[in-house]
Every structure is written in structure tokens, then in C-alpha cells.
């Protein structure tokens, strides 16, 4: 996982907020279908859960050859100010 921070966009467009995201680089989560893992960001889960569901039900090769591992995906949350990228991978 990787977290980007677009400070220029935050300063220009975002209202000051006290707390935005609890995700940290290096965290690992295990999902069971549609069940959001404990401690996972609600907004990020809304974004990535369709991909988790697809992979957990045998789907693969999302976006036709995009990933080296056909049973994986790299998906980012929808926060344009501090997007978090998640590597999703099927556990055997």
C-alpha cells in the first residue's frame, strides 16, 4: 500500500479537517467477501469492495492483462487529496 499527499490541492480546495485517514503503509487486511475488515476505512472499502468481491469469487485478470499476477489488483481509494493505493491479492 502507498499513500500520496497532495498538499497543494488540500491548501487550495479542502476545508480544514482535524482527521482524515487512519491507513498506514504496511498494514495488512484479510477480507471475507463483502465483509469489511476491522479497522479498514469505510470510504476506501466502498471503492475497493467490488474488486475484492470479484477476486474472492474466482474472478481474475481484471482489466485484461493489467497485473502480472492475474489474481490481484492495485486499486486506490477515492480521496483526491490523499489517495491510498491498495494491493489486492487472492490468498490460496
Nearest to 81 by CA among 20, 26, 19: 20
Q: Does position 22 have pLDDT exceeding 90, yes or no?
A: no
Work out how many domains the chain is built from and give that number: 1
Residues contacting 63, CB < 8 A, separation 6+ = none
Structural domain that includes position 33: 2-89
- Write down the H helix ranges in 1-92: 7-13, 42-56
Rounded to whole angstroms, the Cα distance separating 24 from 16 reads: 21
What is the DSSP-derived secondary structure letter of residue 69?
S
The per-residue pLDDT for range 24-34, each reduced to its tens digit, is: 999 999 998 78
Mean pLDDT, residues 36-59 = 93
Amino acid at each position: 500500500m502507498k499513500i500520496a499527499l497532495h498538499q497543494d490541492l488540500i491548501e487550495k480546495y479542502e476545508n480544514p479537517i482535524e482527521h482524515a485517514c487512519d491507513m498506514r503503509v504496511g498494514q495488512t487486511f484479510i477480507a471475507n467477501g463483502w465483509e469489511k475488515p476491522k479497522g479498514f476505512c469505510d470510504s476506501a472499502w466502498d471503492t475497493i469492495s467490488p474488486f475484492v468481491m470479484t477476486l474472492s469469487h474466482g474472478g481474475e485478470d481484471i482489466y485484461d492483462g493489467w497485473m502480472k499476477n492475474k489474481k490481484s489488483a492495485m486499486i486506490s481509494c477515492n480521496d483526491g487529496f490523499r489517495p491510498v493505493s491498495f494491493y489486492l491479492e487472492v490468498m490460496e
